[in-house]
Amino acid sequence: MRRILPIALFLMSGCATAPQKFSNEKMAGQWEAKLQITDRKLNKTYNLGLDVVAERPDLLRAEVSATLGIAVASVLLKGKQISYAVHRSKRFYSGLSSDRALEPVLQVSFDPAFLFNLFFDEPIHDANWSCSVTPDRVVESCVREPDKLFVQWLERNGENKRIVVKAKDFDIQVLIKDYQTKVQNRERAFVLDPPSTYSSFKLN
């Protein structure tokens, strides 16, 4: 069954334009992106759509979709707290964000709290991470030393970019193709309640 994504509706209010001028001091925004996940353990590749709205210091909402706009998941981050609905299985998860938090959606171990860093072009300051930054204070790459999880920002064209995440068992590529500077319908964007027909589960 096809669903209409709430954040996709926010983005439909404007049409695609030339890339916004890059800024590493963004306070809020809306992004449209393509997500490709390569699972080397299973030898499979997944292609997904990603619509994101976010606001400093720590609010992020993402709608994950498959082919033809079919809704896969709705995700809300508030600091280190995460909640998300997996639509096909009608399951709702909530708890602390961690490397394993989104495994039911993406089948890979990657802390969704780092999405904030990816979209806002911020170095990752968590323990065991080190980052390379240009003299203009633009982050180029970050690596987590214990497991060599590697993040790199590439092919910048204004606010459009390609981001690569490499780990032992998977690769993630995020192609950001549209950015708007304001969050529309903010009162709805950062609220995600469990639907009445979904089963609820606690993370951690």
* pLDDT of 7 over the 60 cut: no
This prediction's pTM? 0.85
- The whole-number pLDDT of residue 181 equals 87
Higher pLDDT, 30 or 110: 30
Domains of the chain, with CATH numbers? 6-12+20-192 (2.50.20.10)
Containing H/E element for 55? strand 44-55
> CA–CA separation, 159 vs 24, rounded Å?
9
Q: In what order do the strands lie in the sheet with 91-96?
A: 129-133, 139-144, 149-157, 160-166, 170-180, 28-39, 44-55, 59-65, 71-78, 81-86, 91-96, 199-202
> At 8, which helix (H) or strand (E)?
helix 6-11
Over residues 70-104, the pLDDT tens digits come to: 999 999 999 999 999 999 999 999 999 998 898 87
Residues 155 and 167: their CA atoms lie apart, in Å, by 20
